[in-house]
Amino acid sequence: MVSSNASRSDRNLGVWIGSLALLLLGAGSTEAQTLDPWAKGSEWLSVRAGYAKSSAAGAADGNFGIGFGYQRFRNNKWSFGAQVAFDVLGRYGDATEVESPWTVEVLRHYHWKTPARPYIGFGGGAYYNKVSGTGDDHAGINPGVYLASGVNTLVSSHGLFGVDVRMSWVELSDPNNPVFGGEATLGDPQSNAIHWSAKATYSWAF
């Protein structure tokens, strides 16, 4: 049953991301294209919302996450920025695992002959992780690094819509938790885990 639910969740996530990508490829009005938010010195403020999940042994099915970010363009290809997010990685009944990454990043943007422009990049920082409702609750700050990729397109004179996907490698500080800990529940020793997020993004360029 868990396997079936997980497969259905993965299929739904794939359909969601695919639909957003198609929307991005067709979006962008003629008026919007007169602005170049990728120009040197441009700045973006962004908000993201969507899916978040831990792939650690013993982790629950993915849940919801939100995030906020700032970027400044060094030139029309490279941007530097900072991000903060709040992700509910999963729930088992009343037991919940949440995470809040505070990170800095570098992104490389690519110019396609379409309104949509993709990017890839990397970053890292501090990941605040908390489990509650388990009978052995824990909170701590752990180091982590990530790869990011996505795509953005103009949808108004200053607004951009996009999709952002991130894969983080995060150190685990509580691998023996009786609910979420892989060592305690599955006998699988682990010191780090991969955490995923896939979120729709709206950015304001100025």
Kindly tell me if the per-residue pLDDT of 32 is higher than 80. Answer: no
Q: How far apart are alpha carbons 6 and 45 in whole angstroms?
A: 33
Please identify which residue in the block is written with the tokens 């824990």: 138
Closest CA to 20 of 42, 41, 49, 46: 49
pLDDT of residue 17: 60
pLDDT of residue 2: 44
**Sequence-distant (≥ 6) Cβ neighbours of residue 180 within 8 angstroms:** 56, 58, 59, 60, 90, 92, 95, 97, 131, 134, 174
Residue 133, token pair as written in the block? 């409702």
Residue 62, token pair as written in the block? 């993915």
Closest CA to 25 of 152, 173, 169, 198: 152
Cα 188 to its chain centre, rounded Å, is: 26
Strands 138-154 and 159-171: antiparallel
For the chain, the first-to-last Cα distance in angstroms comes to 49
Q: What pTM was computed for the model?
A: 0.81
Which domains are delineated in the chain?
2-205 (2.40.160.20)
Residue 152, token pair as written in the block? 């953005």
pLDDT of residue 1: 47
Chain segment 125-148, per-residue pLDDT in tens: 999 999 999 988 999 999 999 999
pLDDT of residue 105: 98
Q: How far apart are alpha carbons 187 and 191 in whole angstroms?
A: 13
3-state SS class at 151? strand
